[in-house]
Amino acid sequence: MTSLSDLPIRDDLRGKTPYGAPQKVVPVALNVNENTHPVPADVAADIVARVAAAITTVNRYPDREFTELRESLSKYLGHGLNAENLWAANGSNEVIQQILQAFGGPGRSLLGFDPTYSMYPLLAAGTGTAWISGERDADYELTPRTAVAEIRRHDPDIVILCAPNNPTGTPLSIETIEAAYDAARGIVVVDEAYAEFMPDGHPSALTLLPGRPRLLVSRTMSKAFAFAGARVGYLAADPAAVDALRLVRLPYHLSALTQAAANAALAHSDEMLAMVGEIRDQRDRLVRELSRLGYRPYRSGSNFVLFGGVDDPRATFEALLAQGILIRVVGISGHLRVTAGTEAETTAFLDALAALGRPASAGSAVTAGAATLPVGSQS
């Protein structure tokens, strides 16, 4: 049988492995930061009706510019944005890939701040863009001073900031984003996939867009909108940056069915986002209870919690999996990550973890965790 190594793939792709989290059918899946709440029945009915209508014209290509969707997204985001400021693709990963195709490539570089979203270096590799790993501050924070120092040290063509950061959940201040933009000579991408889970009133990078044509803000409908299976990501930027993405996008890259489903969901945005408050509550509950159990949860503005103080992450992962609970090994020594699910799912995880016994470093972990309550904690 032919193996991958037998094929004439690019030299820079040899030895690499594709992205992938474990896909297992379990009662409680809390490993990939999905919104585990179902789409409300009335919203689902409207989505089905609009997709059914779109089916009648699938013999024709869809609107190449997905005009209605861009208008819907601009209304949802506000901030004085219009359709010319918006772009969309099949998930925010494709949005970021298109950014790298347009502004990266051979001879150019992308700077991120590890640990961060593991797709960034993979997307860089796929586009021939050099990946540069920048440093963070203690507890996975990123201050303006550190961000600027790393940008000046490496002089990248593109900087990507994950806000809040994945897999750590760490919020990113607007001051850090502003400082990074001022220090960078090229494109600055702010990945706000989890922005809706930040506390009300926390400023988005969208507020910085006016007068900053090199700033691109990426978002997704996968998380807060419970739309992971629909694959809809989008971006807000200066119209010139949007035009740059047109140069590399595939023709008719968003299907008529995708456009119809996304427009229906956005028409019910208030109802779709009603579950965000409950998810925040469960996230904050995870922080409190993980600390009580002797682990070290980190500050989180997302829908998940990274926690340290785990003596053997793989063994803990397997023990929970044996009970039908799937969480995430993220490759950080002594740490695991868990998504904030429904109240019942969160209870099942916490009860199962408690039954495994306290971590070996319980005493020190409790002390460290006392200073790591999440942003917007509703205790």
Confidence of residue 19 (pLDDT cuts 50, 70, 90): confident
| Predicted confidence (pLDDT) at residue 20 exceeds the cutoff of 80 | no
Residue 40 gets which letter from DSSP? P
Mean pLDDT across the stretch 56-79? 97
| Three-state DSSP class for residue 46 | helix
Domains and CATH numbers, the chain: 22-38+274-369 (3.90.1150.10), 41-267 (3.40.640.10)
Q: How far apart are CA 89 and CA 116, in angstroms?
A: 22
Would you list the DSSP string of 305-350? EEEE--S-HHHHHHHHHTTTEE-B--S-TT-EEEE---HHHHHHHH
Q: How far apart are CA 29 and CA 23, in angstroms?
A: 9
* Contact between 369 and 305 (Cβ < 8 Å): no
Q: How far apart are CA 295 and CA 204, in angstroms?
A: 30
Confidence of residue 358 (pLDDT cuts 50, 70, 90): low
pLDDT-above-90 percentage for the chain = 86
Q: Is 105 left (phi over 0), alpha (psi -120 to 50) or beta?
A: left
Helix intervals (H) in the chain: 41-55, 67-77, 92-103, 119-126, 144-154, 174-183, 239-246, 256-267, 269-272, 276-292, 313-321, 343-355, 362-369
- The pLDDT assigned to 370 comes to 32
Q: How far apart are CA 119 and CA 19, in angstroms?
A: 7
Q: Using CB atoms within 10 A of its CB, is residue 80 exposed (0-12), middle (13-18) or buried (19+)? A: exposed
- The pLDDT assigned to 31 comes to 95
- The pLDDT assigned to 170 comes to 96
Q: How far apart are CA 209 and CA 219, in angstroms?
A: 14
